[in-house]
Amino acid sequence: MKPVEEQRYLVLDNQQKEKILFQNQMLHYGLYTPKPDDVFYGEIPWHWHDEFEFGYIMGGSILYRTNQQEYLLEEGDGIFVNSGVLHALHPIGPIEKIRLQSQFFDKSFLAGASGSLLDIQYLAPVQEQKALDAVPLYGKNPKDAAFLRRMCESAELGIRRERFFELRMRSIFSELWETVYSWAEQRQSQKQRFDVREDERIKSMMLYIQEHYSEKLTIQQIAAHIPVSERECHRLFQNCLGSTPFEYIAAHRLQKAQELLMYTDKSVLDIALETGFGTSSYFGKIFRQHYHMSPGQYRRFSGFLPRHTAQISKLDLPGADFAVPEEV
């Protein structure tokens, strides 16, 4: 069978929840691997998905952030991201050198039907261990290197899709899952704290911003959505995302503007108005501070990027590195 390469496509739903579109809906496994001439998408903002994820850095460096930790991964490193975990990716260095391969799978890929013995005994305990957000895997560590080799073998099976590849992949993932399960047990024994209520609140406020980002927003409106005090709203954003609410709003608007510049022929002014920046001059100022180029230059540069259309959803940028006014 002819080898197949899958690209990672990004589709935003209105909940910033990433929806994984599996190549085969009966297998519930997704492989996204870059082609030789692909350019990394750039910032992959705050998002979460129900599926488990194995990521492998094929080139360059990426900073992975969760609301508990951050990990700098370089070529040859990898990561496990647990189901439902808020995380964001920030490219380090030139994006043309960055290549990320991701494998996504849900519980049914290994356990079969929900509620089965395998699900209850081995999959659910990992998914429910909220203290296990992500585990970095470093290629220079011999133990991690062995895990990463098996990850890559599975990806290669997914690319080639030769006869019985599904069974072989499942065998590899079952083997790797023993290690993943041990990570969950370690976090349980360490009794690491994870505030489920706090996680739900920050996701709810993120959703509110994503639904109203084109409007003029205030802290009072965002806090009232939960409801919490304005002070508590600030604390939640700082603790969970490492940014202020206004930085998050600006980052989300920039993400939307980036997509419109890449995939539409709308004018810079129209994009500024549609994404809540108000004026093209203010939009251009904030855009330059973040991307180090004008919106027009970015649009011309994006002509060299693959025209992604759809295959994952739920995004938002990590804390922006610029100041924004008290009402945006």
For 32-47, write each residue's pLDDT tens digit: 988 776 666 677 888 8
15, part of any domain: no
323, part of any domain: no
Q: Are residues 223 and 266 located together in one domain of the fold? A: yes
7, part of any domain: no
| pTM for this predicted structure | 0.73
Residue ranges of the chain whose pLDDT lies below 70: 1-26, 37-41, 190-193, 302-328
Q: Are residues 62 and 162 located together in one domain of the fold? A: yes
- 201 with 222: CB under 8 angstroms? no
Q: Are residues 177 and 263 located together in one domain of the fold? A: no
Omega before residue 227 within 30° of 0, cis? yes
Q: Are residues 298 and 183 located together in one domain of the fold? A: no
Q: Are residues 169 and 236 located together in one domain of the fold? A: no
Rg (CA), the chain: 20
Q: Are residues 38 and 174 located together in one domain of the fold? A: yes
For 192-243, write each residue's pLDDT tens digit: 667 888 888 998 999 899 899 999 999 999 999 999 999 999 999 988 888 8
Q: Are residues 133 and 220 located together in one domain of the fold? A: no
- How many Å from the N-terminal Cα to the C-terminal Cα in the chain? 53
Q: Are residues 91 and 168 located together in one domain of the fold? A: yes
Q: Are residues 137 and 246 located together in one domain of the fold? A: no
Residue range of the domain that includes 62: 29-190
Rounded to whole angstroms, the Cα distance separating 124 from 133 reads 14
Q: Are residues 95 and 144 located together in one domain of the fold? A: yes
- 88 with 44: CB under 8 angstroms? yes
- pLDDT given at position 99: 92
Rounded to whole angstroms, the Cα distance separating 311 from 7 reads 9
Rounded to whole angstroms, the Cα distance separating 269 from 193 reads 46
124, 157, 190: which is the final residue of a domain?
Answer: 190
- 8 with 224: CB under 8 angstroms? no
Q: Looking at residue 184, which CATH number applies to its domain?
A: 2.60.120.280
**Nearest CA among 93, 88, 99, 75 for reference residue 148:** 75
Rounded to whole angstroms, the Cα distance separating 207 from 210 reads 5
- pLDDT given at position 259: 86
Q: Are residues 95 and 39 located together in one domain of the fold? A: yes
- 62 with 90: CB under 8 angstroms? yes
290, part of any domain: yes
- 66 with 86: CB under 8 angstroms? yes
Q: Which residues sit opposite 70 in a β-bridge?
A: 65
297, part of any domain: yes
Q: How many domains does the chain have?
A: 2
- pLDDT given at position 310: 30
- pLDDT given at position 324: 36
314, part of any domain: no
- pLDDT given at position 241: 85
Rounded to whole angstroms, the Cα distance separating 88 from 253 reads 16
321, part of any domain: no
The DSSP code sequence of 227-275 is T--HHHHHHHHHHHHSS-HHHHHHHHHHHHHHHHHHH----HHHHHHHT
- 213 with 259: CB under 8 angstroms? no
Q: Are residues 82 and 186 located together in one domain of the fold? A: yes
- pLDDT given at position 298: 84
Q: Looking at residue 270, which CATH number applies to its domain?
A: 1.10.10.60
Q: How far is CA 117 from the centre of its chain?
A: 30
Rounded to whole angstroms, the Cα distance separating 86 from 17 reads 9
